[in-house]
Each structure stands twice: as structure tokens, then as C-alpha cells.
Amino acid sequence: MEVIPVRVLNLNNKPKFLGKGDVIATCEPVVDIVARPQEFSGVQHLQSTLENLQILNEEQRTAVRKLLNEFQDLFSTCDADVGRCNMTQHRINTGDHPPIKQYPRRLPLARKEEAEHLVKEMVDNGIIEE
């Protein structure tokens, strides 16, 4: 067994202790990688963002354009592009107070169809599950 030094980052609020000789990971050879190119489909979105920066001079606009192009995969381009992060766990400290509980309320008939459409859209985009 080959020893490979690794850096470890604790993203939890509780301390973790690693003893000497503890196995923290195993490695396996990669058989196949299917790379999907990250294409920025929001060219119009980028253009409209730049048009809203009229207070900047041309040099500043060029710098912003370069920055947006460099990190384009980090920006949302549509409502369905919400992103995901599993790097950390969030917690809301409410102190001694119990969570707020509310009973579900019925939607007015006029909004029910719109709500069903939005739920279907979020299910189709993988944002929520039924």
C-alpha cells in the first residue's frame, strides 16, 4: 500500500480527531471519464448584464467582461440553473426557541394552476422531488 500525503479540511462545526495510521481514503484507478463541455448558453444574459454597467468606463467594462467570461460556469443563466453545493452543512441557531410550525394553507383557485405549473417545472429541472 502506497502512502500519499493529503490535506484534510473539516467543514463541520465539531472537531474530528485522526489517529496515526488511520485510513481516511482509498484510491482506485479511473476507468472512464466522460467530459461534458461547459458551454455558456447565456450570451444574451451576459450582454444584458454588460449593458446595465453603463456607469463604468470602457476599461472597467472590459475587465468585467473578462471576469464574467473566465468564471462563466459559476453564474446562473436561467431560472432552472440554481446550482448545488454539498461542501458544507448549514445550521440556523434558534437558541431556546422551538421551530416555527404552520399548517399548510389552501391556495386560491386562481393561483392553484400556476403553483402546479411551478412545481412541475422544478421537478423537471431536478430542483425538487415528489
Contacts of 46 (CB under 8 A, 6+ apart): 40, 65, 68, 69, 72
Stated length of the chain: 130
**CA atoms of 105 and 75, how far apart (whole Å):** 34
Say what the pLDDT of residue 44 is: 63
Tell me the pLDDT tens digit for each residue of 30-42.
Answer: 766 665 544 545 5
Residue with cell 463604468: 56
pLDDT at position 40 is 46
Cell of 66: 473578462
Average pLDDT, the chain: 80
pLDDT tens digits for 49-89?
Answer: 777 777 888 898 889 888 888 887 777 777 777 776 677 77
Q: What is the pTM (predicted TM-score) of this model? A: 0.40
Q: In the prediction, which pLDDT does 104 show?
A: 87
What value does the mean pLDDT take over residues 102-124?
A: 90
